[in-house]
Each structure stands twice: as structure tokens, then as C-alpha cells.
Amino acid sequence: MSREQSETPPPRGPTAERELSDRAKPHAQIVLLRHGEPQWSVDDGPAVSDPTLTPFGAWQAKASARVLAAEHQFDALYVSPHRRARETADPLVKEAGLEPVTVDQLAEVGVAVEGFSSEEADRYFVEGSRRPLGEHWNGWPGAETFHDFHERVTSGITDILLRHACRSYREHDFTVWDLPEEKPSIAIVAHMGTNAVILTHLLDIRPVPWEWLRFETGLAAYSILQARRIGPQGYVWSLLQFDREDHLVQARLR
């Protein structure tokens, strides 16, 4: 028997077919794409607050766009105002024929490292992360608090979903969603921290001030949320896929 024959899987069983069929049905979806590699400093110069993409980051953006445009029919594309996010979204705009909408609330959590050297920036984050846990809600030193960050991002994703007639309500201890008959497919290009807060909020998980560690994603990786019906009425958001990076591996092998 050849290697190809030995690695050929047997036909799917009824359970696998049923689960695959359920996921393939029309569902509201949100794809969260993190930006590609940013150029935080040029020639080891001081840090910039709003970096562009590196050449590698631009390649990552193109590889992501090819896969997402081929696999999804997006109704809308929402983008953080930061350059690294907008430049990551540009290839998807071209591939999918979308008009990007910049949403200020999707910006990454604020930091205060403008003009820092690499060593100073590293020390800033290390010292900030070593504070007592109760102080982490204060945010990075001299910058936006994490309470404000959570409120800003959750307000932003709520407004985005309202544009598509998706509304939440509380039932008992749960957050449940009303969705329109035509289920939207939405792409969001933002940041690790921003996307982590969106996941926490839509999955109805208690927030913490280190969301990006709880939902850590790679550069140009994406995650998919899908709305699934719960009970006699309403929907909840399900994390269908998380931190997908295989499209970048496949692009390297071409």
C-alpha cells in the first residue's frame, strides 16, 4: 500500500456529517483578524505610536486577504483607525470588493511609549506587568485605563452589530441576541487586545485587564464567531475557530 493510500481517511460517519452540516448552515458570523507585523521603530530609532506594516506584515495581510475573501462572503468590513490595521485591511478591500468603515472604538489599548528606545519600551511593559494584580485595571502607566478600554471596545462592537439589526438582551443570568432573518457576515480588522475584548464580551465572559493573554493571537491570525440558536428563541455567540494561522503556513509553502 502506498503512503497516499495509507493516509487517506475513511468516509465520515453520521455524527461528523451532521456536525459539519450544522456548521455549514447560514449563521451570523464575525471574523476577527489581527493586523500584520508592525514597524515599531525604524533603524532602531525611537518608538512610534502609529506604525506602518513591515514588508513581512504587508505579505501577511495579502495572504490573509486571499483566504478570507475565498472562504467568506462578507457584508461589511470594519477597521481600527491605526495604520497597521488599515494597511492590513487594504488587500481584503481589493480581494472582497468591500468598502471599509473605520471605527475609532476598535483602536488598541492606549500606551505611552512615543519616542522611547527599544530598551525603554521593553522596560515600560515589563514594569507595568509586574504591578499588583489589582492595579492592572489602571492600564499601562500614563495611558488609558483598562476599564475605559473595555467600555470603549464593547460600545464599538455593540454599535457595529446594531448596524446589522443584531441586539442583545439579558435573560436570567445570560446575554441573548436577537438577529435579523438575513444573517450578517462581518469582518473586523483590529488588534490582539481589541479582538480579545470583543471575544470576552460576545462570549459573555467576565472581563479581566489582561484579555490579550486570555485570548492571545498571532500576527495576521484570525478567529471566527458564529451565532447559534439557544432555547426557544434568541442566539448566543459561539467561538467556532480561534487563532487561525495555517493560511500563513500554506502561503510560505507555495
CATH code of the domain covering residue 179: 3.40.50.1240
Asked if the model's pLDDT at residue 41 lies above 70, the reply is yes
In a domain, 8, yes or no: no
Q: Which of 139, 136, 158, 188 is nearest to 29 (CA)?
A: 188
Q: For residue 254, what are the contacts with CB-CB under 8 A and spacing of at least 6?
A: none
**Sign, CA torsion 178/35/40/48:** negative
If you average pLDDT over residues 94-113, what whole number do you get? 96
Question: pLDDT value at position 1?
Answer: 45
Asked if the model's pLDDT at residue 227 lies above 70, the reply is yes
Cα–Cα dist 97/69, whole Å? 9
Cα–Cα dist 48/112, whole Å? 10
User: Could you tell me if 80 and 194 are in contact, meaning their C-beta atoms sit under 8 angstroms apart?
Assistant: yes
If you average pLDDT over residues 116-143, what whole number do you get? 93
Question: pLDDT value at position 22?
Answer: 66
If you average pLDDT over residues 132-139, what whole number do you get? 94
Cell readout for 72 is 467568506
pTM: 0.90
Higher pLDDT, 85 or 247: 85
If you average pLDDT over residues 35-56, what whole number do you get? 90
Question: pLDDT value at position 100?
Answer: 98
Asked if the model's pLDDT at residue 2 lies above 70, the reply is no
In a domain, 239, yes or no: yes
pLDDT in tens, 146-193: 999 999 999 999 999 999 999 999 998 899 999 999 999 999 999 999
Asked if the model's pLDDT at residue 249 lies above 90, the reply is no
Cell readout for 71 is 472562504
pLDDT in tens, 105-118: 999 999 999 899 88
Long-range contacts of 228-233 (CB under 8 A, 24+ apart): 228/27, 230/176, 231/176
Binned at pLDDT 50, 70 and 90, residue 45 comes out as: confident
In a domain, 18, yes or no: no
Binned at pLDDT 50, 70 and 90, residue 5 comes out as: low
In a domain, 3, yes or no: no
Domain count, the chain: 1
Asked if the model's pLDDT at residue 11 lies above 90, the reply is no
Distance of CA 43 to the CA centre of its chain: 29
**What percent of the chain has a predicted confidence (pLDDT) above 90?**
76
In a domain, 94, yes or no: yes
- What is the extent of the structural domain holding 229? 27-253
If you average pLDDT over residues 43-55, what whole number do you get? 88
In a domain, 33, yes or no: yes
What residue has cell string 475557530?
241
**Paired residues of 178 in beta bridges:** 167
Q: How far apart are the first and last CA of the chain?
A: 28
User: Could you tell me if 77 and 101 are in contact, meaning their C-beta atoms sit under 8 angstroms apart?
Assistant: yes
Cα–Cα dist 241/215, whole Å? 12
**What percent of the chain has a predicted confidence (pLDDT) above 70?**
94
User: Could you tell me if 36 and 53 are in contact, meaning their C-beta atoms sit under 8 angstroms apart?
Assistant: yes
In a domain, 14, yes or no: no
In a domain, 67, yes or no: yes
Cα–Cα dist 48/41, whole Å? 6
Binned at pLDDT 50, 70 and 90, residue 61 comes out as: very high
